[in-house]
Structure 1
């Protein structure tokens, strides 16, 4: 899926926390990838379509260094990644074998991949950070992937951090982790997210002014009327 620059810009200005609230209202509770947190502090919010990769438990006849040269390999998968995508890797939460290291991340960066997200870990942590590729993971580990994982393919539905991820789903990742937006709901989210973000910002301002939470969050009818008046006044100032 190709995201428009306008869609990317809109989502870059919406927190993952706000997105989970919007998706919850639509009945989706399980959209936050567990364990995937940014390796670098102050990582900027990133948006992109999911490019999925999947590992299964290591099997000694398959998970060998020789597997890295086979047609179905992480190396081949990287060459299939389109510019702007976010690689989402199902590592089953295993934390004692790094899915990717600095060389693979450097190649991803060269191909214009936006980020790597996994419920596992990466290796060569300092080198990975040095590539400039943003990474969300459970951490780092020295052993290579074949020490605990077998790579089996890419471009299929996966489970990452307990979340179903379909190729082309939209991923938004920031300091609170990574959230998956189903393709079918993208337009609705784009339409609602800025308004939700603005409303929550107004509520925070009201709290700072000393307002009590009951009736404010969530809003009762009186608060809704005050907020509507605020929006009308704001529109008048900008028109």
Structure 2
């Protein structure tokens, strides 16, 4: 990502910090929501939002994630394609350096280690789990290419929003429209009482039941 574009992306990404992933999922659909295996590894975890800095690591090797922490812009979310369930992609020191450099968090299709250290740091990591053995460092690959993480294709600069509900990605081309729609939705919900919601909900459910021939 060009530096100017990255800075612009950071500014826009921070505007997503007050948007729950549930709201974004309602707007964007299943294809932008990572699978349930990508989950926060400690809690309560703060919501993070930032442009994706994308990394690809082959099974058993974590070199490019270790390279990425020195190259990702502050405020970015490092998104890792791996799928490896045998070796850790990172540990406490890697997370500490990433945090010190201003990286918002990791979203990794793989494992980490040193969970106690990461939790003490309060560095947000969304991943498949933990394992105590680290991977090797040998496989050189480009950074900043589209990756596949949690079943979702993520391009560099896409907005990644993650909280205790899960991880949603907003394609960069749709971030402004999505942000506007999300704010409109939340504003409408804020003025709606539970009685209003219940009445509208019952009417909608009864209509669907009637169309299906339900009687009762």
TM-score interval (norm. to shorter): 0.7 to 0.9
The 2-side partners of 1:150 and 1:57 are apart by: 10
C-alpha contact (below 8 Å) 1:16/1:173 kept by paired residues: yes
- Offset, 1:211: 3.0
Asked if 1:21 is matched to 2:11, the reply is: no
Q: Helix, strand or coil: the match of 2:50? A: strand
Tell me which residue corresponds to 2:211: none
The 1-side partners of 2:175 and 2:145 are apart by: 20
Tell me which residue corresponds to 1:215: 203
C-alpha contact (below 8 Å) 2:53/2:72 kept by paired residues: yes
C-alpha contact (below 8 Å) 1:57/1:150 kept by paired residues: no
C-alpha contact (below 8 Å) 1:87/1:113 kept by paired residues: yes
CA deviations on 1:178-211 (whole Å, 9 max, x unpaired) are 1000011011011110121233455562367x53
- Note the residue ranges of structure 2 that are not aligned, 5 or more in a row: 1-5, 208-216
Asked if 1:99 is matched to 2:89, the reply is: yes
The 2-side partners of 1:125 and 1:190 are apart by: 33
Tell me which residue corresponds to 2:141: 152
The 2-side partners of 1:120 and 1:150 are apart by: 16
Tell me which residue corresponds to 1:33: 34
The 1-side partners of 2:67 and 2:31 are apart by: 31
- Offset, 1:119: 1.8
Q: Helix, strand or coil: the match of 1:213? A: helix
- Offset, 1:15: 1.1
Asked if 1:188 is matched to 2:177, the reply is: yes
Q: Aligned pair in 2 of structure 1 residues 14, 176: CA closer, same or farther (>3 Å)?
A: same
The 2-side partners of 1:197 and 1:102 are apart by: 37
Q: Aligned pair in 2 of structure 1 residues 165, 4: CA closer, same or farther (>3 Å)?
A: closer
Work out the number of aligned pairs and report it: 201
**Structure index of larger Rg:** 1
C-alpha contact (below 8 Å) 1:97/1:141 kept by paired residues: yes
The 2-side partners of 1:205 and 1:6 are apart by: 32
- After superposition, the CA RMSD in angstroms is 2.8
Q: Aligned pair in 2 of structure 1 residues 127, 218: CA closer, same or farther (>3 Å)?
A: farther
The 1-side partners of 2:102 and 2:206 are apart by: 42
Tell me which residue corresponds to 1:119: 109
TM-score by length of 1: 0.74
C-alpha contact (below 8 Å) 1:33/1:119 kept by paired residues: no
Q: Aligned pair in 2 of structure 1 residues 6, 30: CA closer, same or farther (>3 Å)?
A: closer
